Amino acid sequence: MKLTRIFAVAIATLGLAGFSGVASADAAAGKAKFEAACAECHEVADFEGTSAADITATLKKIVAGQQKHKTALKLTDAEIADLAACLSAGK
Ligand code: HEC
């Protein structure tokens, strides 16, 4: 009885944590943005295996001009989140 309850709470917590991490990201929008702004030089598959958090951090640095990139990138935080969702999934 008690164990079942702990299990249920753990599942609910995990579910919430997993969901909140991507709540505002839209991988489909990220893909559209990628096709429009990045596909000239990159392929989505190039980023497969990189975590969304790493891609987000890198893109923020590039946008802020703190990381060297072929071209200056202008992306909103929402676009960065969408791109990270799309790219980390490799599709
Ligand atoms: C004109 C070509 C070009 C375009 C357009 C372009 N990139 Fe890049 N990108 C590069 C090159 C070349 C590199 C390798 C690093 C460098 O600039 O020397 C790179 C590096 C990166 C990296 C870092 C990879 C790493 O392993 O650190 C990320 C992330 C990235 N690009 C994302 C994007 C995104 C997202 C877009 C679209 C919004 C984009 N790039 C558009 C050419 C481009």
All structural domains of the chain:
25-88 (1.10.760.10)
Helical H segments across 1-91, by residue range:
2-22, 27-37, 52-63, 77-88
Choice between 37 and 1, residue whose per-residue pLDDT is larger: 37
Cα–Cα distance, 75 to 17 (Å, whole number):
26
With cut-offs at 50, 70 and 90, classify the pLDDT of residue 13: very low
Q: Is the pLDDT of residue 2 over 50?
A: yes
pLDDT digits (tens, 9 = 90+) for 26-69: 999 999 999 999 999 999 999 999 999 999 999 999 999 999 99
Mean pLDDT of the chain: 85
| Centre of ligand 1 from the C-alpha of residue 4, in Å | 48
| Centre of ligand 1 from the C-alpha of residue 9, in Å | 42
- Smallest CA-to-CA distance from 22 within 67, 60, 56, 62 is with 56
Q: Is 73 helix (H, G, I), strand (E, B) or coil?
A: coil
Residue 6: φ, ψ to 5°: -60, -40
Is pTM beyond 0.85 here?
Answer: no
User: Which amino acids bring their CB within 6 angstroms of ligand 1?
Assistant: 37-38, 40-42, 55, 58-59, 68-71, 73, 75, 83
Q: Whose CA is nearest to atom 23 of ligand 1?
A: 58
